[in-house]
Amino acid sequence: MLTKAQIRSKILLKLKIQKEEDRNRKSKLIKDKLLRNKVFKKAKIVMFYIAFGGEVNTEEMIREAKKIGKLICVPICRKDRETMQPAIFEDHAKLKKGPYGVLEPVAEALVKPEDLDLVIVPGVAFDKKGRRLGRGKGCYDRFLNTLSDAASSIGLAFDFQILPLVPTTSHDVSVKQIIFS
């Protein structure tokens, strides 16, 4: 079996070389599946990620979710504590590069993690059971551990990011569902 590092480098490369039109086409299919998802439909406060490094594009999803009246948050990273906090994502929000190169809002109108109904989670790889391999910093694992039991999590992925088995350790946190295309 491949190690986490080996899987990570293989899939990060595939994300990088995937054609932009394929990424957009598949992201749109994933968006359509998400908008029909029961958990998503019920959720009022949703935390999305801002896509980076070839990940499933969330821009359209965020736009649609706002249109139907959901409060949207995105993560702000704290490098010193390697933690994340959900911040309200306003239309035309000024963005800056966070400590890991991911865009985040400059204005920090924070939401308590326990107030979130749903977290949309990026990942490098997932398996069918919801086990997830991230970029190796553990920020999402620590964050998902702080959610209320009522909150749900959905991982977004391209088909090549779904593996038969993702190796995990005791501090890895799985997502409750995966939407992929």
Per-residue pLDDT of 81-108, as tens digits, reads 678 999 999 888 889 998 888 899 988 8
Looking at the domain 4-180, which fold is it?
Answer: Rossmann fold (3.40.50)
Residues found in the chain: 181
pLDDT at residue number 79? 73
Edge-first strand listing for the sheet containing 118-121: 83-88, 71-78, 45-47, 118-121, 152-157, 177-180
| Per-residue confidence (pLDDT) for residue 137, from 0 to 100 | 87
Secondary structure (3-state) at 73: strand
Whole-number percent of the chain with pLDDT over 90: 84
CB-hemisphere CA count at 13 Å for 101?
A: 3
Mean pLDDT, the chain, integer: 94
Give the pLDDT band of residue 78 (cuts 50, 70, 90). confident
Handedness of CA 46, 47, 53, 55 (dihedral sign): negative
Provide the residue ranges of all domains of the chain, joining segments of one domain with +.
4-180
